[in-house]
């Protein structure tokens, strides 16, 4: 399978294709972010990964790639709760509408798209489905979180996998959809019931432990008993000797809004590109002290002691809170241990790039399920 990566970022989709163990070749990876491209090339040196604005790609050039599959994770900021949500006025949506024109003109066999929850209520989404319908694609839509696959991280994302009606290898998985005004009833919130085990994977989906969950609540808490502890994703303490705990000013101002997790916990918040820079709503912080009280219990005591700042600060500092390191965030996004960042890419840049990336394991499962019939599995 020949793959064209659009909005390729740091190569999360490429990692997912490798994890899926399908026979594939990324023929080009296109992104405008210079730092992301340097990281991509450091990990996939044999892939053509130029700094390009997608609008500079001509129909002739894209056709020359002869790609079977187009994968894409368009900029999510126009659609996020923390973004401006003015997608029609946002220049970052322009390239996506250009890509829709390329799809209509070239009609690749397969399409894989990932974006934030909320994308499915936007005009770009409606236009995307309209193009797929007009071009005769069959498709499936999902809202999935890594929690469903045993990973202790909330990263609920919208996924769409599509197959041209002319392809027989995968068409059985993609029921034709009637184009209507909502499409809301076609978005699945659990993994496919016929999802085959990913080779070498022992997640709860592959082991069949979560098949009975068909209508999860909005927090997906039914999956927590099947998630691994956060401690499985942490790096050795020595690697954090240069990382300070959250300072007094940060604790004083933001303690009441922190999402505090312990190594033994089975859930953490979604990490965004603003993590470590902004505090509220960008990801969890880690409690490193073995305190018998949980963050929630200490937070309750903090509120009780609001007239006594010294007591409040003592309560907050006893937890020894720190940010997750970029390698730990990468682990929770299921990037392989062999994945590296160039030394001159700073911690802040790494976090920003990871915040814009995908969960590799979730995408790998969808690739293996949706497109395994087209591409023979590797035997080596």
Contact 216, 223 (CB under 8 A): yes
Separation between Cα atoms, residue 188 and residue 174, nearest integer Å: 13
318: in domain: yes
Which of 256, 130, 146, 248 shows the shortest CA–CA distance to 191?
146
Same domain assignment for residues 25 and 141: yes
Using CA atoms, how far apart are residues 318 and 366, in angstroms rounded to an integer? 43
Q: In whole angstroms, what separates CA 83 from the centre of its chain?
A: 17
How confident is the model at residue 12, as a pLDDT?
A: 98
pLDDT attached to residue 291: 72
Judged against a pLDDT cut of 60, whether residue 185 lies above it is answered with no
Tally of domains in the chain: 2
Spatial contact of 285 and 258, defined as CB atoms under 8 Å apart: yes
Phi, then psi, of 26 in degrees rounded to 5: -80, 110
CATH of the domain at 101: 3.40.50.150
Q: How far apart are CA 266 and CA 152, in angstroms?
A: 5
Q: Does 158 map to a domain?
A: yes
Other CB atoms within a 10 A radius of the CB of residue 63 amount to: 13
Q: What is the pLDDT of residue 311?
A: 87
Give backbone dihedrals phi and psi of 189, rounded to 5 degrees, phi first: -110, 15
Domain of 265, in residue numbers: 236-324
Q: Enumerate the active-site residues.
A: 76
In this predicted structure, what is the pLDDT of residue 174?
64
In a domain, 330, yes or no: no
How do residues 338-373 score in pLDDT, each as one tens digit? 999 999 999 999 999 999 999 999 999 999 999 987
- At residue 173, the pLDDT reads 63
Q: Which residue reads 């210079």 in tokens?
A: 34
pLDDT tens figures, 93-104: 889 999 999 999
282 pLDDT more than 80: yes
Looking at the structure, do residues 188 and 56 belong to the same domain, yes or no?
A: yes
Tokens encoding 263: 């190594």
Please give the Cα distance from 371 to 169 (Å, whole number).
Answer: 8
Mean pLDDT throughout 249-273?
93
Name the token pair of 176.
Answer: 């034709």
Report the distance separating Cα 334 and Cα 1, nearest Å: 23
Measure the CA–CA gap between 161 and 173, rounded to whole angstroms: 10
Q: Same structural domain for residues 137 and 275?
A: no
pTM of the model: 0.91
Q: What is the mean pLDDT of residues 176-192?
A: 68
Share of the chain above pLDDT 70, in %: 86
The mean pLDDT value of the chain amounts to 89
Residue 377 in domain = no
Q: Are residues 196 and 240 in the same domain?
A: no
Instruction: Give the pair of three-digit tokens for residue 8.
Output: 């390729």
Residue 231 lies in a domain: no
- How far is 283 from 96, CA to CA, in rounded Å? 27
Are 201 and 242 in the same domain? no
Q: 294 and 178: one domain?
A: no
pLDDT for 77: 59
pLDDT of residue 380: 38
pLDDT at 312: 85
For residue 308, what pLDDT is reported? Answer: 86
Residues 170 and 260 both lie in one domain = no
Give dist(CA 255, CA 321) in Å, integer: 10
Between 70-74, 101-105, 152-156, 280-284, the lowest mean confidence (pLDDT) is in 280-284
Clarify whether residues 170 and 42 are in a common domain: yes
pLDDT per residue over 45-78, tens digit each?
999 999 999 999 999 999 999 999 999 999 865 5
**198 and 263 inside one domain:** no
> Does 73 reside within a domain?
yes
pLDDT at 85: 52
CATH of the domain at 301: 3.90.120.10
The answer to whether 148 and 98 are in contact (CB under 8 A) is: no
pLDDT attached to residue 228? 98
**Average pLDDT, stretch 117-138?**
94
Q: Each residue of 286-340: pLDDT tens digit?
A: 999 887 777 678 778 888 888 888 888 888 888 899 999 999 999 999 999 999 9
Residue 1 has pLDDT above 60, yes or no: yes
Question: Does 31 share its domain with 95?
Answer: yes
Q: List the beta bridge partners of residue 300.
A: none
In a domain, 218, yes or no: no
């Amino acid at each position: 399978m020949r793959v064209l990566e659009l909005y390729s970022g740091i190569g999360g989709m490429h990692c997912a294709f490798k994890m899926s163990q399908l026979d594939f070749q990324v023929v080009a990876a296109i992104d405008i972010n210079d730092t992301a491209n340097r990281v991509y090339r450091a990990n996939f040196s044999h892939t053509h990964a130029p700094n390009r604005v997608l609008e500079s790609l001509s129909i002739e050039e894209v056709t020359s790639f002869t790609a079977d599959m187009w994968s894409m994770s368009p900029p999510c900021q126009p659609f996020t709760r923390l973004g401006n949500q003015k997608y029609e006025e946002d220049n970052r949506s322009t390239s996506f509408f250009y890509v829709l024109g390329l799809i209509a003109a070239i009609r690749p066999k397969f399409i894989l798209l990932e974006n934030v929850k909320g994308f499915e209520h936007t005009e770009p989404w409606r236009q995307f489905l309209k193009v797929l319908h007009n071009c005769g694609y069959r498709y499936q839509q999902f809202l999935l979180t890594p929690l469903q696959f045993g990973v202790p991280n909330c990263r609920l994302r919208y996924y769409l996998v599509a197959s041209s009606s002319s392809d027989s290898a995968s068409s059985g998985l993609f029921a034709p959809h009637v184009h209507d005004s909502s499409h809301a009833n076609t978005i699945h919130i659990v993994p496919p019931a016929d999802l085959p085990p990913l080779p070498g994977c022992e997640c709860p989906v592959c082991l069949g432990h979560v098949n009975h969950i068909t209508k999860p609540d909005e927090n997906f808490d039914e999956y927590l008993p099947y998630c691994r502890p956060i401690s499985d994703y942490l790096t050795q303490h020595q690697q954090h000797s240069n990382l300070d705990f959250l300072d007094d000013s940060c604790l004083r101002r933001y303690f009441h809004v922190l999402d505090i997790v312990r190594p033994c916990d089975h859930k953490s918040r979604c990490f965004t590109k603003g993590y470590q820079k902004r505090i509220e709503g960008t990801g969890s912080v880690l409690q490193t002290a073995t305190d018998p009280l949980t963050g929630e219990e200490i937070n309750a005591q903090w509120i009780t002691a609001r007239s006594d700042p010294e007591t409040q600060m003592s309560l907050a500092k006893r937890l020894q809170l720190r940010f997750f390191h970029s390698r730990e965030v990468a682990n929770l996004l299921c990037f392989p241990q062999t994945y590296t960042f160039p030394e001159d890419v700073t911690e802040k840049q790494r976090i920003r790039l990871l915040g814009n990336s995908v969960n590799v394991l979730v995408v790998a499962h969808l690739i293996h399920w949706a497109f395994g019939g087209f591409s023979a599995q590797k035997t080596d």
